[in-house]
Every structure is written in C-alpha cells, then in structure tokens.
Chain A
Amino acid sequence: MEELIETLKIKIIEILNLPDVTPADIPVDSDLMSSGLDIDSIDMLELVILLHKDYGVKIKNKEQAKKVFASLRSLASHIMETSPGFVK
C-alpha cells in the first residue's frame, strides 16, 4: 500500500506537471483538491484517465469518483481492490 502511494505521488507530480511540489508535499489522508497545491477539477479528470490507463480501473460515476478520490489512501486502496494487476 505505502509503495503504491509513493508511486502515485510521483505519477501525480509528473502528469499534473506540478513544478514546485515534492512527494512529501502531497497529503495522503486528505482531499487533494483542498491540499493547497492548486489541484482542480481538470486535474482530477487527468487522474481518472491515469487510473484507467495505468491500472485498468474505470470510474463509473461522480458518486464513485468522490469516494475514490477522497484521499490518496482511498485511491490506492481502490486500485488494490479493483485493479487487475493487484487482484490476488
């Protein structure tokens, strides 16, 4: 889990092109959009694509998106539960 969270942090910085952000700046247990990193709804859409593209996880609707993207930890645990690559 922690390893996946660290991987996700690096991917987020790269995909969202956050030039002045380090992995340590990204909160694990709180909402990314209110993290003070200027992440907005368009960035969240890029993360939906990342999830689908890199982990084969599809977000079905806005309610689910809210739950999954509540925090980085909830995102990681959703990937571990549903991604074909992580299912044991």
Chain B
Amino acid sequence: MRGAPIYIAGMGIISALGYGVAETAEALKEARCNLRPLTLFELTADAPLAVGGVTLETDPADPLPRTHHLAHMAADQALADKSLALDAIVVGTTTGGILTTEALLEKSVAAPHCYRYHGVGTVAEEMARRYGCSGPLITVSTACSSGAVALLLAMEMLRRGKARRVLAGGVDSLCRLTYFGFNSLQLIDPIGARPLDRERSGLSLAEGAALLLLTTDPPAEGALQLLGAGLSCDAHHATAPLADGQGALAAMQAALADAGLEPAAIDYINLHGTGTPDNDLAEARAIQALFGDRLPPLSSIKGAMGHALAAAGAIEAVVAAIAIDHGIVPANVGFGSIDPALNLAPVTVPLRAPVTTVLSNSFGFGGNNAVLTIGTQRGPNCKPSELPRPPLTVTAAACLTGAGHTQETWESFSSGRQCSGCLDDRTVTEGLPPRTVRRLKRLPKLALALASDACRTLPAGRIPVAVSLGTAWGALSETHDFLQQLFETREQFPSPTDFIGSVHNAPAGQIAMLLGAKGANVTTSGGDASFEQALLAADLLTRPGTDPILLLGADEAQPVLAPLFDGSVRVAETLADGGGALVLERGSSHGGPTVALLEYRFGLDPDWMTTLIERLGGADGVERDYGAILAGLPAYCCTQAAEQLAGFLSQTHFGGPVIDYRRIIGQFGTASAVAAVLAVQIVSRGLVPAPLSGGSDVFLNGKGILVLGLGTYLSAVRIAPQ
C-alpha cells in the first residue's frame, strides 16, 4: 500500500445479469444464468452459440458503436449525482468500434467518416466529451485483463497525486471478431461455460461494461476501497497460460503485497474462471500454491454471465463490492462435479456470509495477469508513500522507419533526408530468429525488431522485465486478414492465427516471450497519443529500484485499414510506419538522458497551451531548459496544429530550432516514439545537426529537447541530459 487510500465513490455496471448494481446483486443472489443464443448479428452457417448479451436498444442511425453506448450506460451510473470534475479516465477495451467496422467492411463502405469511432481510444474520448474531462485519458488494451489493468493504473495515478477523481473500468461489446475468433480456437463451450467443472470445454462470450469512480477524497459514508493490485506476465505463449500457474500466482502475490495483506485476510476469491480447460487448471494451481489447504470461498461468475473480455475485470471489481456490501458470496453457476485435476470446489449456491476483503483475478491472452484486492480495510503491512521519485532514465534506445533501423534512421534524419516509408519485412526482422517471426505479420515484427534492437547491447541484469507499448491502431494486418477470410469463406474458415495476432496486446506479449519479461505488460491505444499513454503507464508502473521497463510506440501502415482509420495517413503522400523503443530505469546512475511526460491533455481548449507553458516554467523556463523542439503536427489537422505551435512559439519567444518531425519520420500514430528516440540521440550528442536546425550546428549546452504533440491531444515530453 502506497500513499492515500483509494475509495470507490461510485459504481456503474451493465451485463447479461442486468443494468445497475441493484439488478446485478439480485441476479447474483438468485444464482441466475443469463446465457442465451446469440442474436446480435446474423450467422450464415452454424447455429448460434450461447452468449451473455445485453439488451440494448439503439437508434440504427446513431453512428456511435455499441461498446461506446455500453460504456456510457455504466459511466452514467457511476457518476450519478456527482457534480465535481473528473481528472482522468482510464478504460480497458479490446473491441472499440469493431462491431460497426465489421459491418462496414463487409459492405465495402469506403467513406472514412463512417470509421471515426473505430479506434479503441475513442471510447475514452467520447466519455471525456460527455463528462467534460480534459484528461489524461488512458485506454488499456491487454485482452481479458484490460479492465483490471485500467483500475490499477487509475489507482497509481491517484496514489501519486496526479489526480483526485478518476473514472476507470472496462467495456466490450460482442462482435464477429471475438465470436468467430474464440470459436476458431475451439475455446467456446457449446452448451455454455461451466467454470471448474469436470466436463468444462470452454468459455461463453459476453458483453458489458463496468466503470468505477475512484478518489482519494474520503467519502461521507461507506468506505469500500481498491486496496491493491498486481500485474505479471507469463512470457510463455500467445494464448495458453503457464500450466503451473506461476504467472497467475505472481500477480496474486503482488496484489496482496500491494494491499499489505496476507492470504488469510481474503474471505472471497472471485476467480477468472473462464471455463476453458487450460485457464481453470492454471488458476487452480496458482490458488492452491498461495492458499494451501486454507482456501477461502471461491467462485467464477462467468457461468452466469459469460466472459465480457476487457470488461470482465471491472465487472468483477463491482461484483466484489456487491459481495462486501450485501454479505454474499456469488455461486459458481454452471458447475456440476469436481474435476480431480483441479481438486477445487467452488461455492455452488449463493452463500450468505460477511465478506470484507476480496481477491479478484483477471488473466488474458499474452499471459497477461492482473489481480485486484477490494475491501474495507487496508492491511497492517502498508508501506509508506514514496515521494519524491527519481526520474526515468534511458539506458538503451532503438527506432525503425522507412529509412531503416536506428543507425540508418539517425543518418537520414540528421542529414535532413526523408525517413518516411515502410521498411521491407525482411530488413525489419533481420537478426530475429526465423521461427520466432514465422506466424507474425507487420506490427509484431516491428515491435519485436524494436525490442531486440534496443536490448541488444544490454547486459543480462539490465534487460527489461516490464513492457509498456503504445499503438494507435493495433495489428491491422491480422485484423484485416481475419475479417476478409471470415467474409470470403462465409464464416467457415477464419484463421485462429490471425485472431490471436489481431489482439492489441499480441505484440507486447511476443516481446515478453522474446525477452523473458515476466513483469507488468501493458498495451495502450489512443490515436496520436498512444505512445504518450504508454509513457504515462510506464511512469505509473515503475517504482524506484525496480527492474527496467521497455517503453515502445509502434504502428503499421496496412494499406486498406490505415488510411480508413487514420486521417493523417489518408492525407499523407506516402504510407509510413515504424516505431521507437526506450529502455527505462528509475533513478539509474548508469542511464543516459531522462524522460518525463510533463503534460498530456485531450481536447482543443486553447487554455491548455497556456497551462502547458506555465508547467514548463513560462517563457524563461523554456529558454532555460530546452535547446530544440520536436513538434508533431498530425496531417489531418495540420492547420490547427500549426496554429497551436505558432501560439506556443509566440507566447514563449522560443528562438531555437523547431523541427516538424512528422514531415521527416512520416504520418503515423506513434511517430512521436521515433521522435523521442531521435531526441535521445540529439541530447546524447549534445547538438542539433545543421541540416535539422536550418543553419549551423546548434549546441545544446546542457539543455534538453521538448517533444511536443499537437492536435486533439496536447502533450509535452522532456528529454534532458542527466
């Protein structure tokens, strides 16, 4: 436990079990099973499978996708009767607008504005507009652990005093991608999920949302808290969990330690319990390793409402709160008989018992584990708050652009030549084992090449154990190919490999396997601020003296989808992709330059520029601290961005070199990751080369570089000498 307690001041939930906390509590008390055959979209071939769907009437003319509506319904509840401003929104989602996108792609709709809500980051953006929040916004996309990871990041934001009120949780709608994807993996139980049961044969998909208002302000009544959280990564396989449960165990131990609690303090375990043979086995082993023969009551609610993927972790956080508030342990609906391989007996009928402290598990593809502890009382083993924290220092860096790997990119960039373009796959993956990349398409190849390049010169003890990756659009090739094959074969033969690869966090999962990185593994996605979100997440996840973290930003220029989704790609002359990677340690004396996210806001309020300049110490501070500016002007709003930049320059009278880096690196969401790496290069060399300054070499004289992100997101990253 670090810093102030984190209170749950509001909760909203919508799932197959009902709308709102009261309805959900009733359904849990009655052990209702609400899995029904899918009706959301037409199927051409097979009979519909049982899903946990939500009844939701929307206007067909409403362009807002189903995921966004679900999020609004949960958020409205969480924020009811609250008039105070929100400081941040952290939401986990894997689907975003994909349900709408699928229908559009099937009809070959080519109008880009129809796809404007595709990005997973637009869920948080729409909530920010709805509730008047200017951010920071973070969108977490770590498959089935997304909702729990979002709550962890929100908690860290509050503990660090970066916010007082954060809306956080998860949301996902049913869609063809996940429905046919999980089916292609043979991970769906045809008669409905039966978690822990001997005959279980898979999960049931579901949809829903849960959002929680978290705050450091002590509430007038009730004192339910998010006590702690823990993350880990199996670094083992794209989909299958580590069979001995060691990854899950590490996350559970971390969540208990973070709350200052011993296992004996837990009086209910809310299982991940999807009903797949592998998940339930690994989870059972982890639980037995941690609790021995002193098992508290435990159950999975996924036999009752299905698996709502990114929403699941947040939904189950609300279920944990209901368990405490109502003194009830929910039943493990769908369970019939004990599996001797698990030797785990869940609660089969709702149990009336006082509950004070709940452990809630969420595990996802890529071996991505997240565990929360929710309760009324912090443990006695709390560690004190640990401010101030030393800065994040760069111990290694790498980038990829159309010009080549790091060295080639730097040579082009520093000579004032173009870097934009798409490096051929063969050159991207040179140096990576052929078998490692054989099943991978563009984005995971870029990500693995960046990770491998960045870590190549590091000694064994300095290799990153945690990963934070930002991507504007995720793995577009896999998404495109999966859907195309689904449509072409009339839903008969979608590729399981493409489905696995289409998940936003698949590239970060591949990196974990390559490096053996078993710490936190987070993927963020929010348009042009995706890399900045990953930097914020990395900052929140790293504590002094902890192991190194690999921070990346990468995007691929899939020729069909990238122009449809990204306005800047559409107006750019050439397709461009690539990314950047930084290995960071907090307070390392071995490190090079330091990296800090000074400001990150959403929206076009001109006041933010003034706030940013104040944050930088006014005109004097900018002059004192910065020798050059790398400015990111997204092409889709270049006029607006140019006005923002002109405003910044006129208010600060900055006279040093200002480099419009997207013109050189290319127009893609995470071009700022490349800019950050190039800024590290400039700071390490101590000068801005003449071709970039527009005159002669400009010496930095100990000053740093400001990487400015403009457009609908305003961000400022400082790269400075140590």
Contacts and interface: CB of A to CB of B under 8 A. Distances in A.
Interface stretch (B55-63, B158-166, B298-306, B494-502): B494-502
B493 A17 contact: no
B495 A46 contact: yes
B107 interface: no
Interface stretch (B433-441, B448-456, B522-530, B657-665): B433-441
Contact of B438 (A18, A41, A45): A18
Interface in A1-52: 16-20, 38, 40-43, 45-46, 49, 52
B240 interface: yes
Contacts of A46: 495-497
Given A17-B439, A53-B489, A42 B434 contact: no
Contacts of B439: 16-17, 42
Given A41-B240, A53-B492, A53-B493, A19 B438 contact: yes
Given A16-B438, A19-B435, A42 B493 contact: no
A45 B184 contact: yes
Contact of B493 (A19, A41, A49, A62): A49
A19 B434 contact: yes
B201 to A, nearest CB: 8
Interface in B108-154: none
Contacts of A16: 438-439
Nearest to A17: B438
Contacts of B237: 40
Between B237, B239, B434, B496, the greatest number of chain A beta carbons within 10 A of the residue's beta carbon is seen for B496
A42 B489 contact: no
A30 B489 CA distance: 32
B47 to A, nearest CB: 15
A45 B238 CA distance: 14
Contacts of B185: 42, 45
A49 to B, nearest CB: 5
Interface string B485-511: 000010011011100100000000000
| Interface residues of chain B: helix, strand, loop or mixed (majority) | loop
Contacts of A17: 438-439
B407 interface: no
B186 interface: yes
Contacts of B434: 19-20
B435 A20 contact: yes
Contacts of B186: 45, 62
A52 B497 CA distance: 16
A17 B441 CA distance: 11
Nearest to B436: A38
Contacts of A40: 237
Nearest to A48: B186
A18 B186 CA distance: 23
B477 to A, nearest CB: 13
B572 to A, nearest CB: 30
A40 B435 CA distance: 12
Contacts of B435: 18-20, 38
A70 B493 CA distance: 23
Nearest to B278: A41
Contacts of A45: 184-186, 496-497
A53 B238 CA distance: 25
Between A17, A19, A42, the greatest number of chain B beta carbons within 10 A of the residue's beta carbon is seen for A42
A15 to B, nearest CB: 9
Nearest to A38: B435
Q: Could you say which interface size class chain B belongs to?
A: 10 to 19
A71 to B, nearest CB: 21
Given A49-B493, A52-B493, A42 B438 contact: no
Contacts of A18: 435, 438
B44 to A, nearest CB: 16
A55 to B, nearest CB: 13
B492 A42 contact: no
B438 A52 contact: no
B243 to A, nearest CB: 12
Interface string B433-474: 011001100000000000000000000000000000000000
Nearest to B185: A45
A41 B237 CA distance: 11
Given A17-B438, A38-B435, A52 B240 contact: no
A21 to B, nearest CB: 9
A16 B497 CA distance: 9
A73 to B, nearest CB: 24
A18 B436 CA distance: 10
A82 to B, nearest CB: 18
Contacts of A20: 434-435
Contacts of A53: 489, 492-493
Contacts of A62: 186
B77 to A, nearest CB: 39
A23 to B, nearest CB: 17
A40 B513 CA distance: 15
A18 B439 CA distance: 9
Between B184, B185, B489, B497, the greatest number of chain A beta carbons within 10 A of the residue's beta carbon is seen for B497
A46 B184 CA distance: 9
Contacts of A43: 497
Nearest to A52: B493
A19 B435 CA distance: 7
Contact of B492 (A19, A38, A41, A52): A52
Contacts of B438: 16-19
A74 to B, nearest CB: 20
A29 B239 CA distance: 28
A18 B184 CA distance: 21
Nearest to A49: B493
Contacts of A19: 434-435, 438
A18 B435 CA distance: 7
Contacts of A41: 240
Interface string B185-204: 11000000000000000000
A42 B238 CA distance: 9
Interface in A48-68: 49, 52-53, 62
B499 to A, nearest CB: 10
B439 to A, nearest CB: 6
A62 B237 CA distance: 21
Nearest to B277: A62
Given A18-B438, A20-B435, A38-B435, A49 B495 contact: yes
Nearest to A19: B434
B515 to A, nearest CB: 18
A63 B541 CA distance: 44
Interface string B378-410: 000000000000000000000000000000000
Nearest to A59: B186
B251 to A, nearest CB: 23
A16 B237 CA distance: 17
A43 B495 CA distance: 10
Interface string B216-247: 00000000000000000000011110000000
Smallest CB-CB A-B distances: 3 pairs: A45-B496, A19-B434, A17-B438
14 contacts: A16-B438, A19-B434, A19-B435, A20-B434, A40-B237, A41-B240, A42-B497, A42-B500, A45-B184, A45-B185, A46-B497, A49-B495, A53-B489, A53-B492
Given A42-B239, A46-B495, 6 more contacts: A17-B439, A41-B240, A42-B500, A45-B185, A49-B496, A62-B186
